[in-house]
Chains A and B, each alone.
Chain A
Amino acid sequence: MTSVRSALDGLPAQSSPVDGAPEADVTVAPSSFDEVGAILDTASEHHLRTLIWGGGTHQGYGGRLDPVVVLSTAGLDRVVDFQPEDLTVTVEAGVRVSDLEDLLAGHNLTAALPETPGNASVGGVVSAGISGWRRARYGPTRERLLEVNLVTGDGRQVRGGGRVVKNVTGFDLPRLATGSFGSLGVIVQVCLKLWPLPSARGCVTVADGDAALAAAYRPQAVIECDGTTRVYLGGTPEEVEGQSAALGADPVEGWDWPEDPAGEVQWSLRVPPALLRTAIKEVRGKYSYQAALGVGELRMAGDEGDVSALRTWAESVGGALVLVDGPPGLYERIDPWGTPPPSLSIQNRIVQRFDPVRILNPGRLPGGL
């Protein structure tokens, strides 16, 4: 057995530290699945805690991870297989969401990933299980993941799903990987299902968002930001005309998506959609917020206020209040996830079978997994 030091020195694909990442003994930026496999094989042999770094836009867990190795996915940046006519694209995990959407838009297509992604990578978005606003129309990101390539915590290269739009061939690894926060492995490549980008796009500001949701017939999104509600429309020109007529307003051309709410502490409040109105009443005036009507998600930002009553209520109705970002000290006072789900022991058994030594992002899942 080699010493930890020589194991670290022997890791392939070493690079200079990534901007913004916590300090680590070594930073690696592998550019092939084999390199990722070799790194994780060594890391699991020597119990080296490894932090996976995508775009680093939302590593919101300051202080909780104290990595020995930072594994950047920046070198995994290829578009592997783009099939516009099949409405599928296969990309490596480090591809920027914005670059992917630019490429797709050139073919009048979209993956409907988050609309204001900043530097976010496809792998980071999938790993965090994050969806764009247009989930109101196209469903969440996990509905778009057709195939996943994963390198497990102990370096095994594993593939699940397939590059076809409909598939029931075995257990659904792509869905399991979505939202897994690196606990199963490094997502190295994904195949996504695409949608045509609507040829006509428009926005309408309305007074009553709930009524608009009922009238517009499946708009792209209805978003209430700090009291102002906008309906995002898309489709054929006739569809957008029909939808805006139903709303009794003329649309402004194009989509103008809101940037994340500003504030030191960021939360994601998730409740059954019909209870979103109640949630808005609780939050309004205390936090800056954006609510996805019809979906049941509310993103809010503000100071460290006391959220315990809000969290208790959200959990009592089957939802959650999740800490997305905040100062390091906050994570010591409050669990970012709240009460863990009842299936925790099964989740633990799965994680243990994918990352047996538990080196990848340990502690990032609910319940400290």
Chain B
Amino acid sequence: MTLTAELRDILGHDRVLSEPLERWVYGMDSGVVRGDAQLVAFPETTAEVAAIVRVARHYRTPIVARGAGTGLAGGAIPTQPGLVVVLTKMNSVEIDEANATAWVGPGVINLDLSKQTEPHGFHFAPDPSSQSACTIGGNIANNSGGPHCLAEGSTVGHVLAVELVTADGDVVMLGGPAPDPIGLDLRGVVVGSEGTLGIITKALVRLTPNPPDVRTLLTGFASVEDAAATVSGIIARGVVPAALEMMDQRMTQAVERFVSAGFPTDAAAVLLAEVVGLSAAVEAEAAIISEVARENNATTLRVAADESERAKLWLGRKSAFGAVAQAAPDYYLHDTVVPRTKLVETMTRVYEIADRHGITMLNVFHAGDGNLHPLMAFDSEEEGMLDRVKAAARELVEVCVQVGGALSGEHGIGIEKRDLMKLVFNEADLDAQARIREAFDPAQALNPDKILPAGSRCFDLGRPPLEGMWV
């Protein structure tokens, strides 16, 4: 028997792909790294996933879980010839209105979940810009964020339990429907583990009540400094808006050409702020935001008059990457975090890096969280361009780390930033992370080569386990 034949025994012929074109498609995600997908499997049940894992282990073939492939860090691509397990067919949704939760399959598309829960008065709070395509499984695996994660937190705060198929092909439930499940919080570790600790086959997610009222404000500024000061000022006044997004002038101009959302294209920076809650409260908070914006010399100040204007502003924000894709043949989207107070300093240095490398840089980001998304637009056909982009990207990360930031706020480490982990963690820190992985998957059968640089596990650190202790 071969792995292909055994997989077809389990899934039938049609749910196992192995043609060159299919392998090419599943050998990449939305990032810049290519992988080697030998086989692609489409399970429909947890039992099938478990069976797939067991046979793949038998053939010593690396296993890579995949949702919609919108990840930007190369998380879903096999770095060694491997099996890609696509979870999109597992997309059931079971809403529990009384507990404000839902059991969902990993393949459910983020936006579909919010659409399905809308009639019940709920939505799923994490709203990545890719929400019309990306899956809940991918969101959980990457601990994804979105504009509305400023007040609501990233995906991890919205996942109560995950059903996991482990590297041994066992099925285990982590977490549960009650608060503070007993024992170590393995649920919390699996969220954000990028498919390295197990394959998520089901999840219990928390739903957020739709707010009774909402105000969306558009403000424009003559300088990035004024916009950034407004961000700090709003938070200093005790208001944590539901969302607080910034776009620079190049980005608003690109967006306006693409969708005409109504952004002022003459402003150096635009802030999109949203407050939600009871009507009286949102009025008051919108007033505070307006006041702070005025104090910081806002040149534009507009409150969306109705739902259609609000939807238009958000469409503009969420189309930002699409707008760039229209204007340049290639783009490289970055994701780093800095302390909010270091925004201006960091932005200045980020532009300087791009200028020095002769790269067009646009910025759209989650300003309230200090989560930067510098975007470099370029043409990879141009001689040496890709190398320059990569060099600039590395410098950019170094700058963010220098001011006390992190490598990634929401896109994950994957293969893209794996070797940069040493910028933020020392040998003992990386070894501790490698130990967590080893406890789940000692052979690194699941998504090998991701997150941790080679050699992270240092066997000469610490003591060997006590004799006779159960392993």
- Contact among B232, B280, B413, B421 with A239 in the assembled complex (CB-CB below 8 Å): B280
Enumerate chain B residues within 8 angstroms of A358, measured Cβ to Cβ.
466, 469
| Interface residue? A238 (CB, 8 A) | yes
| Interface residue? A236 (CB, 8 A) | yes
Distance in angstroms between the alpha carbons of A72 and B247 in the assembled complex: 49
Q: Does A352 lie within 8 Å of B186, measured CB to CB?
A: no
Enumerate chain A residues within 8 angstroms of B412, measured Cβ to Cβ.
168
Q: Tell me the minimal C-beta distance from B194 to chain A in angstroms.
A: 9
B356-384 interface bits toward A, Cβ cutoff 8 Å, 1 = contact, 0 = none: 00000000001001110000000000000
B443-460 interface bits toward A, Cβ cutoff 8 Å, 1 = contact, 0 = none: 000000001100000000
Interface residues of A in 330-369 (CB under 8 A from B): 337-338, 340-344, 346-354, 356-358, 365-367, 369
Closest-by-CB residue of A relative to B181 is A341
Enumerate chain B residues within 8 angstroms of A217, measured Cβ to Cβ.
209, 211-212, 277-278
| Interface residue? B325 (CB, 8 A) | no
Closest-by-CB residue of B relative to A88 is B339
Given contacts A166-B145, A175-B189, contact A143 B408 (CB under 8 A): no
- Contact among A173, A241, A318 with B177 in the assembled complex (CB-CB below 8 Å): A318
Q: Does B425 lie within 8 Å of A159, measured CB to CB?
A: yes
Enumerate chain B residues within 8 angstroms of A180, measured Cβ to Cβ.
184
| Interface residue? B305 (CB, 8 A) | no
| Interface residue? B81 (CB, 8 A) | no
Interface residues of B in 284-315 (CB under 8 A from A): 284-285, 288
Enumerate chain A residues within 8 angstroms of B145, measured Cβ to Cβ.
166
Given contacts A156-B428, A156-B462, A197-B238, contact A142 B278 (CB under 8 A): no
- Contact among B240, B279, B426, B463 with A44 in the assembled complex (CB-CB below 8 Å): B463
| Interface residue? B77 (CB, 8 A) | no
Q: Tell me the minimal C-beta distance from B66 to chain A in angstroms.
A: 18
Enumerate chain B residues within 8 angstroms of A85, measured Cβ to Cβ.
232, 235-236, 340-341
Distance in angstroms between the alpha carbons of A340 and B186 in the assembled complex: 13
- Contact among A270, A273, A314, A357 with B465 in the assembled complex (CB-CB below 8 Å): A357
Q: Tell me the minimal C-beta distance from B212 to chain A in angstroms.
A: 6
Q: Tell me the minimal C-beta distance from B90 to chain A in angstroms.
A: 21
- Contact among A45, A169, A354 with B413 in the assembled complex (CB-CB below 8 Å): A169
Q: Does B338 lie within 8 Å of A164, measured CB to CB?
A: yes
Closest-by-CB residue of B relative to A273 is B99
- Contact among B143, B181, B212, B470 with A348 in the assembled complex (CB-CB below 8 Å): B470
Q: Does B465 lie within 8 Å of A352, measured CB to CB?
A: yes
| Interface residue? A297 (CB, 8 A) | yes
Interface residue count on the B side (C-beta < 8 Å): 97
Closest-by-CB residue of A relative to B191 is A172
Enumerate chain B residues within 8 angstroms of A84, measured Cβ to Cβ.
236
Enumerate chain B residues within 8 angstroms of A15, measured Cβ to Cβ.
none
Question: Which of B54-62, B256-264, B386-394, B429-437 lines the interface with chain A?
Answer: B429-437
Most interface-central of B191, B284, B405, B462 (chain A CB within 10 A): B462
Distance in angstroms between the alpha carbons of A142 and B209 in the assembled complex: 22
Enumerate chain B residues within 8 angstroms of A353, measured Cβ to Cβ.
435-436, 438-439
Distance in angstroms between the alpha carbons of A218 and B370 in the assembled complex: 26
Distance in angstroms between the alpha carbons of A155 and B461 in the assembled complex: 10
Enumerate chain A residues within 8 angstroms of B406, measured Cβ to Cβ.
162, 164, 166-169
Enumerate chain A residues within 8 angstroms of B174, measured Cβ to Cβ.
341, 343
Interface residues of A in 226-284 (CB under 8 A from B): 235-239, 241-243, 246, 268, 270-274
Q: Does B439 lie within 8 Å of A349, measured CB to CB?
A: yes
Q: Tell me the minimal C-beta distance from B110 to chain A in angstroms.
A: 16
| Interface residue? A224 (CB, 8 A) | no
A147-159 interface bits toward B, Cβ cutoff 8 Å, 1 = contact, 0 = none: 0001010111111
Q: Does B184 lie within 8 Å of A179, measured CB to CB?
A: yes
| Interface residue? A176 (CB, 8 A) | yes
- Contact among B100, B182, B283, B451 with A322 in the assembled complex (CB-CB below 8 Å): B182
Q: Does A272 lie within 8 Å of B99, measured CB to CB?
A: yes
Question: Which of B8-16, B45-53, B153-161, B218-226 lines the interface with chain A?
Answer: B153-161
Given contacts A173-B433, A337-B182, contact A164 B278 (CB under 8 A): no
Distance in angstroms between the alpha carbons of A172 and B432 in the assembled complex: 11
Distance in angstroms between the alpha carbons of A158 and B436 in the assembled complex: 13
Q: Does A167 lie within 8 Å of B238, measured CB to CB?
A: no
| Interface residue? B178 (CB, 8 A) | yes
Closest-by-CB residue of A relative to B404 is A163
| Interface residue? A86 (CB, 8 A) | yes
| Interface residue? A75 (CB, 8 A) | no
Interface residue count on the A side (C-beta < 8 Å): 98
Distance in angstroms between the alpha carbons of A349 and B442 in the assembled complex: 10
Distance in angstroms between the alpha carbons of A198 and B232 in the assembled complex: 17
A6-35 interface bits toward B, Cβ cutoff 8 Å, 1 = contact, 0 = none: 000000000000000000000000000000
Given contacts A155-B462, A169-B407, A176-B184, contact A272 B413 (CB under 8 A): no
Q: Does A367 lie within 8 Å of B189, measured CB to CB?
A: no
Enumerate chain B residues within 8 angstroms of A178, measured Cβ to Cβ.
185, 188
Enumerate chain A residues within 8 angstroms of B235, measured Cβ to Cβ.
85, 87, 196
- Contact among A243, A274, A296, A350 with B278 in the assembled complex (CB-CB below 8 Å): A243
Q: Does B437 lie within 8 Å of A171, measured CB to CB?
A: yes
Q: Does B179 lie within 8 Å of A295, measured CB to CB?
A: yes
- Contact among A154, A165, A347, A354 with B183 in the assembled complex (CB-CB below 8 Å): A347
Q: Does A152 lie within 8 Å of B337, measured CB to CB?
A: no
Given contacts A173-B432, A270-B179, contact A196 B238 (CB under 8 A): yes
| Interface residue? B385 (CB, 8 A) | no
Enumerate chain B residues within 8 angstroms of A131, measured Cβ to Cβ.
180
| Interface residue? B327 (CB, 8 A) | no
Q: Does A171 lie within 8 Å of B451, measured CB to CB?
A: yes
Given contacts A160-B429, A164-B337, contact A349 B370 (CB under 8 A): no
Q: Tell me the minimal C-beta distance from B418 to chain A in angstroms.
A: 10
Q: Tell me the minimal C-beta distance from A325 to chain B in angstroms.
A: 16
- Contact among A142, A273, A322 with B185 in the assembled complex (CB-CB below 8 Å): A142
Closest-by-CB residue of A relative to B435 is A353
Distance in angstroms between the alpha carbons of A131 and B281 in the assembled complex: 26
Enumerate chain A residues within 8 angstroms of B466, measured Cβ to Cβ.
47, 356-358
Enumerate chain A residues within 8 angstroms of B176, measured Cβ to Cβ.
318-319
The 8 closest A-B pairs by CB, nearest first: A175-B188, A319-B178, A239-B281, A274-B98, A196-B238, A349-B439, A353-B435, A242-B278
17 new A-B contacts at CB < 8 Å, known A108-B238, A156-B431, A196-B239? A86-B370, A135-B179, A143-B157, A164-B409, A165-B369, A166-B145, A166-B149, A166-B370, A168-B154, A169-B407, A171-B192, A176-B189, A180-B184, A236-B239, A272-B99, A274-B96, A318-B178
Name A's B-contacting residues (CB within 8 A).
44-45, 47, 83-88, 108, 129, 131, 135, 139-140, 142-143, 150, 152, 154-160, 162-173, 175-176, 178-180, 183, 195-199, 217-218, 235-239, 241-243, 246, 268, 270-274, 295-297, 314, 317-320, 322, 337-338, 340-344, 346-354, 356-358, 365-367, 369
20 examples of A-B residue contacts, CB within 8 angstroms? A140-B179, A158-B431, A162-B337, A164-B339, A164-B404, A166-B145, A166-B154, A168-B142, A169-B408, A170-B430, A173-B436, A175-B189, A196-B235, A242-B278, A318-B176, A343-B186, A346-B440, A349-B471, A356-B462, A357-B463
Name B's A-contacting residues (CB within 8 A).
96, 98-101, 142-143, 145, 149, 153-154, 156-157, 166, 172-174, 176-186, 188-189, 191-193, 209, 211-212, 232, 235-236, 238-240, 277-281, 283-285, 288, 337-341, 366, 369-371, 404-413, 421, 424-426, 428-433, 435-440, 451-452, 461-466, 469-471
